[in-house]
Amino acid sequence: MIRYDYVKTRREDIQPYSQRAMGLAMAFMKLYTRVNVLLYRCSGGRLMGRFMGRYDICLVTFTGVRSGRRRDVALIHLPYGEKGEKKLLVASQGGRDVHPVWYRSIKAHPEIEIQFRGERRAYRARQADADEKRALWPHLLSIYPAFDEYQARTDRDIPVFVCEPC
């Protein structure tokens, strides 16, 4: 079991996901994300702009690694920098042992667009190295505390992307 010194949650303190529950959750999230993306885009973020009623959402548009087609995913909005001009993306997938599908695509094609509410902007994403991720961790948890539990659940080093405006 891998432990990261900056993760405060201990795996022993977390209730494990059952395979059945995980399968149902993934199917639900796939459908939910499609609806979320459609309503968010059409309403300029006024509809379905928050996850669990608390956490702002943004839409990330990227190029699929295999298809070459533009794809959208709704993720927690993680502004960063002096005026929030940079954005962070966390490939957590709820602490599953595999990367989300969009991870490989953004690694291969780092030119992305992020829409937050009515504003859409081009960014270039790069994966943070281990030291940078450690430094970013408190900021990430200040926005979405569940990331700590997600990292504790898995031996996978959950990737964090730093996105800078183009």
Is 103 a domain residue? yes
Q: How far apart are alpha carbons 82 and 121 in whole angstroms?
A: 17
Is 93 a domain residue? yes
pTM, rounded to two decimals: 0.93
Amino acid identity, position 15: Q
Is 12 a domain residue? no
State how many domains the chain has: 1
Q: pLDDT category, 126, cuts 50, 70, 90?
A: very high
Strand partners, 63: 70
Is 50 a domain residue? yes
For residue 137, the domain's CATH number is 2.30.110.10
The SS3 of residue 7 is coil
Q: How far apart are alpha carbons 79 and 57 in whole angstroms?
A: 11
Q: What are phi and psi of 125, to 5 degrees?
A: -100, 145
Range of the domain at 32: 18-165
Q: pLDDT category, 124, cuts 50, 70, 90?
A: very high
Convert the pLDDT of each residue in 29-75 to its tens digit.
Answer: 889 899 999 999 999 999 999 988 799 999 999 999 999 999 999 99
Convert the pLDDT of each residue in 88-113 to its tens digit.
Answer: 999 999 999 999 999 999 999 999 99
Is 5 a domain residue? no
